[in-house]
Amino acid sequence: MDSQIDWHAARAALEWQVEMGVTETISETPINRFEQAAPPPKAGVTLGVQAPSVPVPVDAGTDPVAEAERAARQAQDLTALQAAMAAYPHCELQKGARNLVFSDGVAGARVMIVGEAPGRDEDRIGKPFVGRAGQLLDRMLAAIDMGRDRDGAQAVYITNVLPWRPPQNRDPKPDEMAMMLPFLKRHIELAQPEVLVVMGNISCQALLGKRGITRLRGQWTEAAGRPVLPMFHPAYLLRNPAAKREAWADLLDLRVRLHKKA
């Protein structure tokens, strides 16, 4: 039986795997890449004779959220905060990500946009909102004369709840969000925006403690000591183009709010 597939089928299969987040081929035997390497044999132990295994001590009292809060508080500027996040050892997502996706746009802008988590393109490039959803976001902002590449009052600053891509773009787990939330709150404090725009259910859950973006969107609220406008995530708009009407209304509301505060 001929097991070979033609070139077109092979390319389609490869593209599908890349889209799902595959970054390397699979060997015939499973490999646990998170497993710690076995320690070298001690002096006096004969090679070929298995020494008794010694468990690696784990501090059961470690609180990842408390450690994140301490690390975030110690960061005195955005550069230090990014370094603290990169050095934070408790989030397993870091092990499978290519890049830490910290921010884009102009720090100190009046508007700070908080997305959910990096996707494949963001993980590859190291910036938030650079895939199809990010391109739509740029067009949305340009429609109200704003953007990440603008200066002054037209500038925006962009980040995510999570700085690392979850496998296969799955939703972040509650523990992952909890340990990254202190960094996000400190990020907001250091960036000092006037207004927060939270895009999608994950962002609303992180900063507002609520889900249900179709109900929350367009309703001004407050978090981190600042006015907050929940909006549909651009990825949702790509799947549901009819919702762009509501998104446009929210953008106009944002523009009115900014003009009143100017």
Q: Rounded mean pLDDT of 249-253?
A: 98
Neighbours of 159 (CB within 10 A): 25
Least Cα distance to 95 among 18, 55, 36, 40 occurs for 36
User: What pLDDT does 49 receive?
Assistant: 39
Q: Rounded mean pLDDT of 126-142?
A: 97
- Quick check: 43 pLDDT over 90? no
Q: Rounded mean pLDDT of 129-145?
A: 97
CA distances from 248 to 110, 199, 235, 252 (A): 19, 14, 15, 6
Question: What is the pLDDT confidence band of residue 62, given thresholds at 50, 70 and 90?
Answer: confident
- Quick check: 156 pLDDT over 80? yes
* Spatial contact of 113 and 228, defined as CB atoms under 8 Å apart: no
User: What pLDDT does 71 receive?
Assistant: 98
Q: Rounded mean pLDDT of 228-245?
A: 98
Tell me the pLDDT tens digit for each residue of 73-112: 999 999 999 999 999 999 999 999 999 999 999 999 999 9
Q: Rounded mean pLDDT of 160-175?
A: 96
* Spatial contact of 163 and 171, defined as CB atoms under 8 Å apart: no
User: What pLDDT does 55 receive?
Assistant: 38
User: What pLDDT does 45 receive?
Assistant: 41
- Quick check: 190 pLDDT over 50? yes
CA torsion sign for 237, 242, 248, 249 is negative
Mean of all residue pLDDT scores within the chain: 87
Tell me the pLDDT tens digit for each residue of 49-58: 343 433 334 4
- Quick check: 59 pLDDT over 70? no
Tell me the pLDDT tens digit for each residue of 8-39: 666 666 666 665 566 666 655 666 655 655 55
Question: What is the pLDDT confidence band of residue 47, given thresholds at 50, 70 and 90?
Answer: very low
Domains along the chain with CATH numbers: 64-261 (3.40.470.10)
